[in-house]
Chain A
Amino acid sequence: MNDEIKSSCSTGTGGEPETTRSTVPMGIVVLTFALLFLGGVYFDHHSGWFNAKVYSPYVSAEQLELYQPKSGAAAALAQGKKVYETVCGICHGPDGMGKPGQAPPLAGSEWVNAAGFHRLAQIPLDGLNGDFQVEGKDWNLNMAPMGAALSDSDLAAVLTYIRSSWGNKAGPVTADDVKAIRAAVGGHPAVSAAQLSSIPE
C-alpha cells in the first residue's frame, strides 16, 4: 500500500501545487529572539529563582535577607559585620583568615578567643607594634589604632562579631565595656605583645 502511494507520488501527475522552500525573514527571527531574551530577563527578575521563600516584591533571597527586621543580638552582629567589612576586613580578610605580610588571622586566634576581651580591645584602640605570635606563627607588623575613631557601640559590635564568627566562640563585648577600656587606655601609644600579655585578660 505504502509503495503504491509512494510510486504514485513520485511519478505524479504534475498538477499538484508545491510549496517552495520559504525562509522566515531575518528581521522576524531577530525580533523573536530579542523578545524571548527580554521575557527571560523579566522572568528571572521576578521569579526569585523559584525560591519558595521569595515572594514579590522581593526579587532575590539576598534582598529578602536585607529586609529582615533586626533586633538585639542579631542587630549587633549585623552592625559588627558591616563595620568589620569596611574597616578591618581590608587587611584581615572578609573571612578572618588574615593576609600574609599584612595581617594575622582572627579566625582561631588565641588573642581573639581569650576568655576576657581586655587585651583584644586594646589592640584596635591603641594599635599594635613589633613581634607578635598568633597560632604559633611569628608576625612583625605595625597596626594603626584603627578602632580609635569608631564609636563605642561600633567597636563593641565588631569585637563581638570577630569573637563569634568563623568558628570563634568567645563571649560578646558591650558598648559599656569598650567605654571603660577606652577611658582606661585609649590614646596610649601602640602596645607590644609583651605589654599586652602583662595586663589581665
Chain B
Amino acid sequence: MKNGFSVFIAAFIALGLSWCGFVLGSAKQLGTAKQAAVLNSSDTYPIQPTGDATLGLQVYRANGCAACHTEQVRQDNVVCDVVLTGAGKRNPAAVTNLISTLKLTGLTKDEADAASDQITAAGGSVETHIVPVGVDIARGWGLRQSVAADFLYNDPVQLGSLRAGPDLANVGARLPDINWQLVHLYAPQALVKNSAMPPFRFLFEVRKLGDAPSPDALQFPQGFAPPAGCEVVPTPEAKQLVAYLLSLKADAPLYEAPFTPVTTKP
C-alpha cells in the first residue's frame, strides 16, 4: 500500500487524541473522585450503598430497566428567591411595604443581592434561596441536576437514554415505600393506571398460604389481591432491585449543584 505508514500514523494520532480527550481526560478529572461534602453540613454524599443495593444494580441491568428509565435529571437554569425571615423591630410596616413593591422570586444572584441589601437596610432580615429550575425538576423528578458524584457507587453507570418511563435519579426519595415498590414491580397497573411498564412477575413467587402469612408478603390495594389462600412473596432479586431503587437519592446539595433544601414543617 502506498503511504501505508503515513495513513497508520494519521489514524493513530486521530484515535489517540480522541482517546486522550474522552478517556484519559475524564479519568484524570474524575477517576479519583471520592465522597463529596454536602453543603452546610458535615455529611458526605453519596452514602455507601448496602450489599443488597449493590446487587440490585445487577438485577436492574439484567432486566433492562435502563432501556426505558433514565437516571439523569436535567437543569435548565438556576434562580434566587429572597425570603423574608423577620421584619425587624425598627419599622416592620416599612419592611412589609418594601416587600410588596419588590420582585423576590426568579432573580439572578445580582438582583437577589440588591433586593436583600434593600430589605436589610430597611431593618428586615432575609435569606437567599438557590432554586434550580428545569423541566425535569418541574415534574418532581429531582431537586437539582445530576452530577458525577451521584454515580460514584454505580458500576456500571445506568444513565439511560430513553424515557418510556419516568426518571429514577431520585426515586428513593420520591417513592420511599418498600411495599409500593414491590407491588409496582409485580403489577404496575395496580398502582399507576395506564402505566406502560410490563409486570415483572418472575421476580415474585405466588404460593399457598401456610400456617401464617409471610412477613414479606405483598400488601395489595383493593381489587388486585391474589386469590384467597395465596400470597405473593418477593424473591431475593426483587428485594435487591427495590433496595437499589431506594438507594437512588440525589437529594443532597453539593458544591457543583447547589440549592437550598426546602425544609417542610411536619
Residues in A whose Cβ lies below 8 Å from that of B76: 57
Contact of B256 (CB < 8 Å), options: A53, A66, A69, A151: A53
Given A53-B256, A69-B260; A58-B148 close (CB under 8 Å): no
Looking across the interface, which residue of chain B has its beta carbon closest to that of A52? B29
| Interface presence of B39 (CB below 8 A) | yes
Residues in A whose Cβ lies below 8 Å from that of B128: 69-70
Given A52-B29, A55-B145; A67-B256 close (CB under 8 Å): no
Looking across the interface, which residue of chain B has its beta carbon closest to that of A58? B78
Residues in B whose Cβ lies below 8 Å from that of A56: 75
| Interface presence of A54 (CB below 8 A) | yes
| Interface presence of B40 (CB below 8 A) | yes
| Interface presence of A197 (CB below 8 A) | no
Q: How many B residues touch A, CB cutoff 8 Å?
A: 26
Residues in B whose Cβ lies below 8 Å from that of A53: 255-256
CB A177 to nearest CB in B, in angstroms, measures: 18
CB A155 to nearest CB in B, in angstroms, measures: 14
| Interface presence of A191 (CB below 8 A) | no
Residue interface bits A71-95, CB-to-B below 8 A is 1, else 0: 1101000000000000000000000
Contact of B78 (CB < 8 Å), options: A67, A71, A72, A151: A67
Q: How many A residues touch B, CB cutoff 8 Å?
A: 18
CB A57 to nearest CB in B, in angstroms, measures: 5
Residue interface bits B115-133, CB-to-A below 8 A is 1, else 0: 0000011000000111000
Residues in A whose Cβ lies below 8 Å from that of B130: 67-69
* Given A50-B29, A68-B258, A69-B128, 17 additional A-B pairs, CB 8 A: A52-B30, A53-B255, A57-B75, A57-B78, A64-B256, A64-B258, A67-B80, A67-B109, A67-B130, A68-B39, A68-B130, A69-B39, A69-B40, A69-B130, A69-B253, A74-B40, A151-B121
- Which residues from chain A sit less than 8 Å from chain B, CB to CB? 50, 52-58, 64, 66-72, 74, 151
- Which residues from chain B sit less than 8 Å from chain A, CB to CB? 25, 29-30, 39-40, 75-78, 80, 109, 120-121, 128-130, 145, 147-148, 253, 255-260
